[in-house]
Amino acid sequence: MLSNAARLLMVSAAASLVALGSAPAEACQDIADEALDIVALGTPVSTGAQLFKLIQQNLWGYTDDDIALLWGSPSPSSAVYYNNGVNLVDVAGTDPGDDFTPITNIASVAPGDVLVLNSTGSYSGHTAIVRLAPTQLTNALKPFVANTTQWVLPIVDSTTSVHGCSTVYPDSRFTPSAPGSCVGTFTAGPGTAFMRIYADATTGAPVGHTWSVTSGGTYYAQTGTSPPSRPFVIARQQSCPLL
């Protein structure tokens, strides 16, 4: 028999999940807007996964217990989000597929979608919020990958690693010592930046990425060892419409 505390937890979590499930179509845009608000306020957040958790709490009033019910952990890591987005892992007591739906075509990615890099070996993974729809690079940059198209993905995240040095696709946390210089100061935490997504030229499926939109940045494939792989998924919360 459930205790009164357990019943209260289930009622509280269920109410939050219902609120998310009935959220309006602009819910995804709300996710992007809240991410930008957190950056503007200078709210201290140490990782991208924690940034996404804070967004959910701010938008829908989720408690740690609600987050635990929805994702299976009160403080989900990027690996937890990845498993949900790729393997459609659902927590017992929630509706199937109510957490993440993967986006399988880069042209369908929209503001508020979530980019999640899985953990691999010593790499702990990463989570970022899409803040604007991706745009295709008409003039591809190195490294070139056969049978792919390259896309610029504007993001909001929290990181200790600058997303490259580019005056065209800058990281808001980097202050150059002189205009155009790659020497300067980087402030860790929430900020805006750009990543590059490689998509299959025929299907549009995301097949790889680079941390920045800079020529010669390290390319990570979805699978394999050469080039090195860092599997990722771009996913959408269920309340947001698929395009």
Q: Which pTM does this prediction carry?
A: 0.87
pLDDT tens across 66-118, in order? Answer: 888 888 889 999 999 998 888 765 555 554 445 788 999 999 999 999 999 99
Could you give the C-alpha distances from 160 to 31, 65, 94, 167, in angstroms and in order? 22, 28, 34, 19
Q: Which residues pair with 221 in a beta bridge?
A: 208, 229
The predicted structure's pLDDT at residue 157: 98
Of the candidates 146, 152, 114, which has an alpha carbon nearest to the alpha carbon of residue 28? 114
